Amino acid sequence: MIQLKNYREIDMIRKSGKVLAECLLSLDEVISEGISTYDIDRIAHEFIVKHHGYPSCLGYCGYPNATCTSVNEVVIHGIPSKKKILKDGDIISVDICVTLDGFVSDSTRTYEVGKVSDEVHKLNVVTRECLYKGIDAARQPHARLSEIGKAVFKHAFTDNGYGVVRDYTGHGVGFSVHEEPEVANFVSPMLPNPRLKPGMVLAIEPMINMGTWKVIDLKDGWTVVTADGKPACHWEHTVAVTENGIEILTEL
């Protein structure tokens, strides 16, 4: 069941999303050559707690940290580590959920460390564009859920030839980290396809691979990598469907 949120509840998710947006923005200054993913996690964790939030990935299904830090070929759910030191030319996605006064927001950005190659930079730009094209698709009058995945898939695969991850999707969010519906980055007749309606709050999150769409789950139970070892990017916003249209809740 899709749990709709009322005006007050959306306002609470908006406040949570503001802390999360500020946190991800602040990481821009922090992420550079030589820092470990452990330190990035620690800094994000402290930021969220200082703003009275809780980093709700921590403890979610036993996940050990406040953030997912996914470097290069790691698509999602990279576990922060003192041993993982960023170097020039790396990309890293940082995926964070914030709970504030019981309301959850979810957002991800992919950061470039120093100077990345032109082809990796393009992957990152296109993945971010996929996120905004997905959001814009949701803005169309009477849009159904599948319009989001259709727009993401077209930009990533049809127009740019990138692999679109199929094993993981976006989701409803707000009362908890993962709610219905599934928000896929592709179109599938297998998935429920309701019309978007006021009160829905969705985490839209294209996960786009430079090469194959196929991914492998590592033995640590979390880390997801591309099957061909090529880089992947991930961008995510929490958005609310309101009477006045779509509002991005994790953007300042």
**Interaction site with ligand MF3 (CB under 6 A):** 57, 60-61, 63, 68, 77, 95, 97, 106, 177, 203, 205, 236
**Judged by CB, which is closer to Co ion: 9, or 205?**
205
The single residue listed with the structure tokens 């077209």 is 154
- 63, interface contact from Co ion, ligand MF3, none, CB < 5-8 Å by kind: ligand MF3
CB of 14 to ligand MF3, least distance (A): 18
Return the residue nearest Co ion (CB atom): 203
Distance CA 189, CA 169 (A): 15
Query: 3-state DSSP call for residue 55?
Result: strand
Assigned token pair, 41: 């996690």
CB of 119 to ligand MF3, least distance (A): 26
166, 224 contact by CB (below 8 A): no
Please, what is the angle between helix 118-139 and helix 146-153, to 10°? Answer: 150
- 68, interface contact from Co ion, ligand MF3, none, CB < 5-8 Å by kind: ligand MF3
Spatial neighbors of 75 by CB under 8 A, at least 6 apart, are 165, 168, 207, 209, 215, 224, 225, 226, 232, 234
**Judged by CB, which is closer to ligand MF3: 116, or 130?**
130
**Judged by CB, which is closer to Co ion: 20, or 137?**
20
- 126, interface contact from Co ion, ligand MF3, none, CB < 5-8 Å by kind: none
**Judged by CB, which is closer to ligand MF3: 55, or 116?**
55
**Judged by CB, which is closer to ligand MF3: 7, or 60?**
60
- 7, interface contact from Co ion, ligand MF3, none, CB < 5-8 Å by kind: none
CB of 72 to ligand MF3, least distance (A): 18
157: burial class by Cβ within 10 Å (0-12, 13-18, 19+)? middle
Assigned token pair, 33: 């050559």
